[in-house]
Amino acid sequence: MNWYETSVEVELGDRSYLIWIGEDVEEGILQAASSLLSENRRCAFVVDAGFSSNQPSFMAQLQDFGPILILPAGETSKSLAQLSSVYDFLAKNAIDRSCCLFAVGGGVVGDLGGFAAASYLRGIDYYQVPTTLLSMVDSSVGGKTGINIAAGKNLVGAFFQPRGVYSSTRFLTTLSERDFNSGMAEVIKHGLLYDLSLFEKLEQLDRLHPTHAELPRIIRRNCEIKAAVVGADEREQSASGGRALLNLGHTFGHAIENVAGYGEYLHGEAIGLGLLMAADLSKRLGNLQEKDVIRVREMVRRYALPDNLRQPISVPDLVNAMRHDKKVKRGTLRFVGLQKLGQAYIIQEVDDALIHEILSGFGAAE
């Protein structure tokens, strides 16, 4: 099948766009750049350093289409300093409103590049070219862009949709196993919050890896889920949960990333642990049964994601970090819980003591 024969649509009226997923979708990236040039529109590329060093032949092809800025790998690049370097790169290359930016990399470059596109000249077109599993199944879709500041993750950013998303699964062959597994945390999350049959499929399949025959279908299903949720509640405003449900495990996970220090836990590793904490919370609130919690734990372990904190970090520091989370409303911590496997809901209020107990149970220190 040719790369352009199937796609998933994110339906947002005149801002709708397609997500292309497949082994040879990189051809599509080059065609998109080439057709922009033929319309007299220039292209610029921000590229993750870990990707560029591992994919030299693709990088050599990109060079023909416009200037390239290589960004250092890792979460610490989602910073004001790197944002400023992207602005300088765009300005130095005289990128104007008719031009188009391609963000080539994982969630870090996607979030940073997307926010640069949202804010440079008050907004220029951009494409997401995800190169990690996490970015293919989650971060490249839905238009959340942004950077971290000292007070917390993703606290500065914008909703800004790309013009399209090109996911070439061949790129994943050079991804480390640890980063691949980190992406699996978001796949597990989508099954848990939205689609029990996806979760069951993960249980039935042997361990997924970059060349697993089922992987493109699994990525596609994740994109369908994310597209449906984003299409119904783009800006996380639904009273019944909507897009906010995608934050399952994230109140815990973001706090772990922040307190342990960005980079200590990969994003997906923190989210995997956050999913276990959310499952534990759901059990304590009488929704999940112990056997469900065990299924979640087994899935997290299957992908070598941590099931306990690696080092004891402080409970008060974690709770404090949660209070800075974007999900806090009028000072109340908000968690996403599981009504049952495959169905999430917003927990309106949780007793602080319960959160302390859960965190301690996973190795945090009082």
Ligand X SMILES: NC(=O)c1ccc[n+]([C@@H]2O[C@H](COP(=O)([O-])OP(=O)(O)OC[C@H]3O[C@@H](n4cnc5c(N)ncnc54)[C@H](O)[C@@H]3O)[C@@H](O)[C@H]2O)c1
Interface residues toward ligand X, by CB under 6 A? 48-51, 54, 73-75, 78, 105-109, 111, 131-132, 134-135, 138-139, 142, 144, 153-154, 171, 174-175, 179, 182, 267-268
Pairing mode of beta strands 164-168, 17-22: parallel
Q: Which of 78, 153, 221, 250 is catalytic?
A: 250
Comparison of 226 and 283: residue with beta carbon closer to ligand X: 226
Residue 2 near residue 20, CB atoms below 8 Å: no
Among candidate residues 233, 260, 251, 351, the one with its CA nearest the CA of residue 314: 260
For residue 324, give the DSSP letter. Answer: T
Q: Smallest gap, in angstroms, from Cβ of residue 213 to ligand X?
A: 19
Pairing mode of beta strands 17-22, 100-105: unpaired
* Residue 102: both structure tokens together: 């391609």
Catalytic status, residue 122? yes
Catalytic status, residue 23? no
Catalytic status, residue 357? no
Residue 169 near residue 219, CB atoms below 8 Å: yes
Q: Which of 247, 258, 283, 334 is catalytic?
A: 247
The C-alpha atoms of residue 279 and residue 79 are separated, in whole angstroms, by: 32
Q: Which of 221, 243, 283, 326 is catalytic?
A: 243
Among candidate residues 172, 252, 158, the one with its CA nearest the CA of residue 212: 172
Q: Smallest gap, in angstroms, from Cβ of residue 252 to ligand X?
A: 14
Comparison of 28 and 107: residue with beta carbon closer to ligand X: 107
Comparison of 107 and 216: residue with beta carbon closer to ligand X: 107
* Residue 168: both structure tokens together: 């070439």
Q: Which of 189, 220, 254, 283 is catalytic?
A: 254
For residue 366, give the DSSP letter. Answer: -
Catalytic status, residue 283? no
Q: Which of 39, 40, 122, 366 is catalytic?
A: 122
Q: Smallest gap, in angstroms, from Cβ of residue 353 to ligand X?
A: 29
Comparison of 56 and 286: residue with beta carbon closer to ligand X: 56
Comparison of 138 and 325: residue with beta carbon closer to ligand X: 138
Catalytic status, residue 220? no
Q: Smallest gap, in angstroms, from Cβ of residue 182 to ligand X?
A: 5
Q: Smallest gap, in angstroms, from Cβ of residue 25 to ligand X?
A: 13
Q: Smallest gap, in angstroms, from Cβ of residue 86 to ligand X?
A: 15
Residue 259 near residue 318, CB atoms below 8 Å: yes
Dihedral of the alpha carbons of 171, 176, 177, 179, in degrees to the nearest 10: -90
* Residue 148: both structure tokens together: 């971290």
Q: Which of 226, 283, 326, 334 is catalytic?
A: 226
Q: Characterize 77-98 residue by residue with b for buried, 16 or more Cβ atoms within 10 angstroms of its Cβ, and e for exposed.
A: bbbeebbebbeebbeeeebeee
Comparison of 140 and 287: residue with beta carbon closer to ligand X: 140
Catalytic status, residue 144? yes
Comparison of 135 and 161: residue with beta carbon closer to ligand X: 135
The C-alpha atoms of residue 339 and residue 205 are separated, in whole angstroms, by: 25
Catalytic status, residue 153? no
Q: Smallest gap, in angstroms, from Cβ of residue 346 to ligand X?
A: 18
Contacts 24+ apart (CB under 8 A), 28-34: 28/3, 28/4, 28/166, 28/168, 29/102, 29/127, 29/129, 29/166, 29/168, 30/61, 30/62, 30/65, 32/127, 32/164, 32/166, 33/62, 33/65, 33/66, 33/102, 34/65
Q: Which of 26, 224, 234, 236 is catalytic?
A: 236
Comparison of 143 and 287: residue with beta carbon closer to ligand X: 143
Catalytic status, residue 250? yes
Q: Smallest gap, in angstroms, from Cβ of residue 335 to ligand X?
A: 18
Q: Which of 26, 186, 224, 269 is catalytic?
A: 186
What are the catalytic residues?
122, 144, 186, 226, 236, 243, 247, 250, 254, 267
